[in-house]
């Protein structure tokens, strides 16, 4: 786990009883009920301080934040939060699954796609359209990026970028069943024609 950067430490204690009544008592005590499982670790009910968990989930990694679990028996596990439940009104954390992952084992996560710069097509009057703002990727915890950043400055009008064209960091691969377009630059004249066609379709039919 030493090679994993940017982990958030969580101290985890066993929860010997379960059920909604017990979960309520745990929350009233200022703690969060959770479950730890996966990665060859037997499933176990636990409690933890929700504050560091919340800080981690609000980090640049978001729901992909990696946590270093300090178990009551002295064991140390690397985990990622899944099935995060929050109160619909207060947005307070209610429950979380902590899935244990191994540092050298690939995991699948969803990453945001962001763009950098202004495309050549935009400078010529076109428009950049982001079709997919998130992509699913496979990586190890050690190679997990915060996001996929795309420099669009060289993209001309009429050009597009497929998921396979995204600049993936070393060790990161896109996961998909069928290739799809992530973004494209639409020429101004194409947009004008499309807009005129849409207006024409909305016109009421002439009365006979």
Per-residue pLDDT tens for 84-120?
Answer: 999 899 899 999 999 999 988 999 999 999 999 999 9
What domains can you pick out in the chain, each with its CATH number?
8-100 (2.40.240.10), 107-202 (2.170.120.20)
- Tell me what pLDDT residue 21 has: 78
Tell me the pLDDT of the chain averaged across its residues: 88
In the predicted structure, residue 2 carries a pLDDT above the cut 50: no
What is the distance between the alpha carbons of residues 15 and 195, in angstroms, rounded to a whole number?
Answer: 60
- Tell me what pLDDT residue 207 has: 55
- Tell me what pLDDT residue 23 has: 81
Q: How confident is the model at residue 33 (pLDDT cuts 50, 70, 90)?
A: very high
| Residue 63: count of CB within 10 angstroms of its CB | 12
Stated as kind and residue range, the H or E segment containing 122 is: helix 120-123
- Tell me what pLDDT residue 139 has: 95
Per-residue pLDDT tens for 167-200?
Answer: 999 999 999 999 999 999 998 765 445 555 555 5
| Residue 12: count of CB within 10 angstroms of its CB | 21
Q: 144 vs 3, 51, 55, 134, 168, CA distance in Å?
A: 12, 23, 18, 15, 11
């Amino acid at each position: 786990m030493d090679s994993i950067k940017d982990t958030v430490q969580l101290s985890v204690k066993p929860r010997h009883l379960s059920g909604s009544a017990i979960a309520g008592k745990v929350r009233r005590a200022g703690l969060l009920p959770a479950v730890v499982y996966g990665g060859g670790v037997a499933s176990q009910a636990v409690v933890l301080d929700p504050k560091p968990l919340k800080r981690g989930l609000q980090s640049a990694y978001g729901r992909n934040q990696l946590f270093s679990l300090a178990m009551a028996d002295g064991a140390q596990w690397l985990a990622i939060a899944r099935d995060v439940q929050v109160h619909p009104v207060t947005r307070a954390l209610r429950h979380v699954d902590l899935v244990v992952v191994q540092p050298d084992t690939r995991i699948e996560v969803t990453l945001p796609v962001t763009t950098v710069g202004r495309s050549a097509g935009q400078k010529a009057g076109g428009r950049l359209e982001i079709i997919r703002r998130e992509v699913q990727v496979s990586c190890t915890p050690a190679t997990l990026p915060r996001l996929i950043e795309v420099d669009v400055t060289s993209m001309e009008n009429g050009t597009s970028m497929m998921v396979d064209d995204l600049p993936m960091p070393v060790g990161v691969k896109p996961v998909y069943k069928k290739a799809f377009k992530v973004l494209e630059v639409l020429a101004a004249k194409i947009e004008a024609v499309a807009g005129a066609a849409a207006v024409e379709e909305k016109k009421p039919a002439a009365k006979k």
